[in-house]
């Protein structure tokens, strides 16, 4: 309808963000917005990547740190060892010549070795707090408003990351100074021993190539360090009934985050932060809405306010 058309233009063509947003098929987007709006907030959930999606790619002229990079162990030798692994495996992560099954094995190897170094070199909750306090990490402008709006409307947010849940949780705590009832973190979660030292990781490792498999099966409430995940059964099945999705990501692979869900309508929002010319064509085809050059979250807040 004319009204919806006007709404959509407001979302995608608003003042200062005009040059930073690309919509490949605005008719399709408009249909999706109408369908989600009609079904209402009870049918909606948000699935968001963390690094460089909720957080800024650039922070005061420096690359924002990922949850893995934030964590500094007491013995610097272990930070160096993890950095060496990064230098070896990170290029392989993006090497188009490596077949998927082989790359999956490499990623399992990388995450396995990194987690082992974290356990061997020691990590404490105190160390996590200190690392996060010093970290170069900032949420995009508008993330607070987005979380507040979704909380008010009772729409759950799954933050989905192949990084470290405990770091992400601490970043949320330190940056927001409050918790959100509706926010869940799906990521690699640490288990601490009675002396408060990292002992192991909980459940199956989430790496970049299996970020699609167990979105709902690993969801743990923020600030809930309880070992018994069975209590979440009801919540998981409630999430599966929310068949409309607003997905936020910065890699085309992030679209897989909703694979565990039999969704009806999905609006995908992409952030193309860097080397825009190289990826613009593939990203604009892959995402319903694409924000360029480390944009703010204000457009997504506006979109969400039209969806619920
Ligand atoms: P994600 O944030 O998109 O879920 O992916 C996690 C990123 O973490 C991935 O691009 C590789 C990176 N990473 C590190 O920087 N250091 C590490 O030790 C590991 C295992 C991954």
**Does the annotation mark 274 as catalytic?**
no
CA–centroid distance, 4 to ligand 1, in Å, is: 39
How far away, in angstroms, is 162 Cα from ligand 1 center? 6
Give per-10-residue mean pLDDT for the chain (308 aa).
Answer: 46 51 96 98 97 96 95 95 97 90 96 98 96 97 97 96 96 93 93 95 91 64 43 72 96 91 96 89 96 95 96
Whether 206 and 218 have beta carbons less than 8 Å apart is answered as yes
Dist. CA 260–CA 268, nearest whole Å? 15
Q: Which of 24, 25, 51, 288 is catalytic?
A: 51
Give CA–CA dist 297/48, Å, rounded: 12
Quick one: pLDDT at residue 95? 87
- N-to-C CA span, the chain: 18
Smallest CA separation from ligand 1 atom 15, residue: 68
Q: How far is CA 271 from the centre of its chain?
A: 11
Tell me, in angstroms, the distance from the centre of ligand 1 to residue 272's CA: 17
- pLDDT, tens digit, 9 for 90 and up, residues 247-289: 999 999 899 999 888 899 999 999 999 888 889 999 999 999 9
Give the per-residue pLDDT at 112: 98
Q: Which residues is 191 bridged to in the sheet?
A: 200
Going from the C-alpha of 190 to that of each of 145, 164, 236, 274, the distances in angstroms are 29, 8, 21, 31
Confidence (pLDDT) at 233: 60
24 catalytic, yes or no? no
Q: What is the ipTM of this complex?
A: 0.97
Q: In testing the pocket of ligand 1, which one of 47, 66, 109 has its CB within 8 Å of the most ligand atoms?
A: 66
Under a CB-based contact definition with an 8 Å cutoff, are residues 32 and 243 in contact?
A: no
Residues in contact with ligand 1 (CB, 6 Å cut-off): 49-51, 66, 68-69, 82, 85-86, 110-111, 114, 161-163, 208, 211
């Amino acid at each position: 309808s004319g009204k919806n058309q006007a709404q959509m233009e407001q979302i995608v063509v608003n003042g200062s963000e005009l040059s930073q947003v690309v919509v490949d098929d605005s008719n399709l987007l408009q249909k999706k917005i109408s369908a989600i709006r009609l079904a209402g907030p009870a049918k909606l959930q948000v699935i968001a990547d963390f690094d460089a999606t909720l957080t800024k790619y650039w922070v005061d002229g420096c690359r924002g740190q990922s949850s893995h990079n934030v964590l500094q162990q007491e013995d610097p030798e272990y930070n160096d060892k993890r950095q060496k692994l990064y230098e070896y495996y990170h290029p392989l992560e993006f090497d188009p010549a490596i077949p998927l099954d082989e790359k999956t094995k490499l990623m399992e190897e990388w995450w396995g070795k990194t987690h082992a170094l974290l356990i061997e070199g020691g990590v404490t909750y105190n160390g996590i707090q200190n690392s996060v306090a010093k970290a170069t990490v900032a949420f995009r402008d508008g993330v607070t408003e987005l979380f507040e709006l979704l909380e008010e409307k009772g729409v759950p947010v799954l933050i989905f990351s192949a990084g470290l849940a405990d770091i992400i949780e601490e970043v949320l705590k330190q940056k927001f100074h409050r918790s959100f009832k509706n926010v869940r973190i799906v990521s690699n979660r640490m288990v601490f021993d009675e002396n408060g030292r990292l002992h192991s990781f909980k459940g199956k490792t989430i790496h970049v190539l299996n970020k699609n498999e167990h979105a709902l099966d690993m969801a743990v409430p923020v600030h809930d360090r309880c070992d018994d995940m069975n209590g979440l059964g009801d919540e998981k099945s409630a999430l599966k009934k929310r068949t409309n999705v607003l997905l936020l990501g910065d890699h085309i692979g992030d679209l897989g985050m909703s694979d565990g869900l039999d969704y009806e309508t999905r609006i995908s929002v992409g952030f193309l932060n860097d080397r825009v010319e190289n990826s613009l064509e593939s990203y604009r085809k892959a995402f319903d809405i694409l924000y360029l050059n480390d944009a703010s979250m204000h457009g997504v807040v506006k979109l969400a306010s039209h969806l619920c």
